[in-house]
């Protein structure tokens, strides 16, 4: 019996010695250790995820693991917390993407088994990876990013010193634009004003406000007798509110003009700071005749441009677009940057040509490709914010490496690989 126990103990000791030889400590991080088996497992997981390839050395991978361990220890010491529910959502989202990629959950599980990993192991890996990434982002934001600033002077100095190394701005095309708005003409405005005055006269004669709203109002509230329900200040257009809030219950306003048209407002009731009103709206919208006249105007403008009148001068004098002050200058674009609304039309024309009139809602547009702007260096103002972000990232990396170095010293890191 004693001989059997002796042999068993000997076997256990031998097994222990072999395990020590096979699996050994490759790094110490404070009071924590990293084993060779953990390093290999991490490599396998990272390769399965496509995050690294075979050229990534054990030392590089180990240093990443050490950084992660330092960050996790710092997060624990400073009581940083992550959103566990959010992490589970992200894991489920990642897995759902994989299921769809492989056609089904079953097919994905089979592929995992071939690589020696179970779905639960993958979940654990995702959880650790996402948790670590969130903690890393939180710490970097609080310990580093929040303390970094880049001055305009630094940006200007970097621009001067590196302008020859900066990429050139690619060739672009200058685009010009003319917009002619389709608006109600004077005769249309007079007609609508006359109609709202007739409705107002009916109200003064004592006819029911709700019935008149149902019959004459252009607002969707007409089916409710013009009832807009309760609302607070800041909800409606300012000209409407100014009159509505000045009324007393039962009182009816004069005709009120807003950008939507002409209103008659009736106060129904107040509830502290909220009011409930009815209104009748006659919208100022162009007639078919107004549309036809504006279309004819746009065609005349196109003919004048075709007769070699200067596009810029016509834009300055006739365009309703804010770019009229800049003689119709819309900007400089490559083909991928064309305004989506006009992309197809611009693709059809060459430099020096103009598009046919384009109807879009209550406006008609004419565009031109004025000239080609060749490659050139970026002006500082064109890339100021990109340079600011570039310098922020440089400073962030520099501070991060310094911070990690200090953590290594404070926590005592020893590499035994």
Q: How far apart are CA 340 and CA 350, in angstroms?
A: 18
Q: Please check the confidence at residue 21 and state whether its pLDDT lies above 80.
A: no
Q: Give per-residue pLDDT as tens, 354-381.
A: 999 999 988 999 999 999 999 999 999 9
Q: Are 137 and 80 in contact (CB under 8 A)?
A: no
Predicted pLDDT of residue 22 = 57
Specify the pLDDT at position 3. 38
* Tens digit of each residue's pLDDT (9 = 90 or more) over 90-125: 999 989 998 898 899 888 888 888 877 788 888 888
DSSP H/E element including 278: strand 274-283
Q: For residue range 323-343, what is the model confidence (pLDDT) as tens digits?
A: 999 999 999 999 999 999 999
pLDDT greater than 80 at residue 4: no
Query: How confident is the model at residue 154, as a pLDDT?
Result: 97
Q: Please tell me the pTM assigned to this model.
A: 0.57
Q: Are 263 and 240 within 8 A, CB to CB?
A: yes
pLDDT digits (tens, 9 = 90+) for 204-249: 999 999 999 999 999 999 999 999 999 999 999 999 999 999 999 9
CA gap 126, 134 in Å, rounded: 12
Contact 197, 255 (CB under 8 A): yes
Domains assigned to the chain: 23-140 (1.10.4030.10), 172-184+288-377 (3.10.50.40), 186-283 (3.10.50.40)
The percentage of the chain sitting over the pLDDT mark of 90, rounded to a whole number, equals: 58
d(CA 48, CA 121): 12
pLDDT single digits (tens) 272-297:
889 999 999 999 889 899 999 999 99
Q: Does residue 179 contact residue 341 with C-beta atoms inside 8 Å? A: no
Instruction: State the chain's mean pLDDT as an integer.
Output: 89
């Amino acid at each position: 019996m004693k001989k059997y126990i002796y042999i068993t103990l000997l076997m256990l000791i031998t097994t222990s010695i072999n395990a020590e030889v096979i699996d050994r400590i490759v790094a110490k991080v404070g009071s924590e250790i990293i084993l060779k088996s953990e390093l290999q497992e991490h490599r396998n997981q990272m390769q399965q995820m496509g995050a690294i390839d075979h050229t990534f050395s054990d030392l590089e991978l180990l240093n990443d693991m050490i950084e992660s361990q330092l960050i996790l220890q710092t997060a624990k010491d400073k009581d940083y917390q992550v959103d566990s529910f959010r992490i589970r959502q992200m894991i489920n989202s990642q897995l759902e993407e994989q299921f769809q990629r492989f056609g089904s959950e079953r097919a994905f599980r089979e592929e995992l088994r071939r690589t020696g990993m179970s779905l639960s192991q993958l979940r654990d890996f995702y959880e650790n990876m996402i948790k670590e990434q969130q903690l890393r982002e939180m710490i970097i934001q609080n310990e580093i990013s929040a303390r970094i600033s880049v001055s305009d002077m630094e940006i200007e100095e970097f621009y001067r010193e590196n302008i020859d190394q900066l990429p050139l701005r690619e060739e672009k095309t200058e685009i010009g634009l003319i917009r002619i708005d389709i608006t109600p003409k004077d005769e249309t405005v007079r007609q609508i004003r006359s109609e709202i005055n007739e409705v107002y006269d009916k109200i003064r004669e004592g006819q029911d406000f709700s019935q008149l709203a149902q019959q004459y109002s252009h607002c969707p509230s007409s089916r409710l007798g013009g009832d807009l329900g309760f609302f607070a200040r800041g909800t409606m257009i300012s000209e409407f509110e100014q009159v509505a809030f000045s009324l007393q219950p039962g009182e009816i306003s004069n005709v009120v003009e807003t950008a939507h048209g002409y209103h008659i407002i009736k106060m129904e009731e107040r509830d502290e700071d909220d009011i409930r009103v009815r209104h009748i709206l006659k919208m100022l919208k162009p007639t078919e005749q107004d549309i036809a006249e504006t279309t004819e105007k746009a065609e005349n403008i196109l003919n004048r441009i075709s007769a070699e009148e200067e596009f810029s001068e016509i834009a300055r004098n006739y365009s309703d677009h804010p770019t009229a002050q800049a003689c119709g200058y819309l900007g400089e674009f490559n083909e991928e940057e064309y305004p989506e609304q006009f992309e197809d039309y611009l693709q059809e024309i060459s430099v020096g040509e103009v598009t046919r009139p384009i109807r879009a809602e209550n406006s008609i547009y004419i565009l031109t490709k004025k000239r080609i702007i060749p490659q050139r260096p970026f002006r500082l103002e064109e890339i100021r914010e990109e340079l600011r972000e570039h310098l922020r990232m440089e400073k962030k990396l520099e501070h991060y490496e310094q911070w990690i170095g200090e953590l290594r010293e404070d926590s005592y890191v020893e590499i035994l690989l």
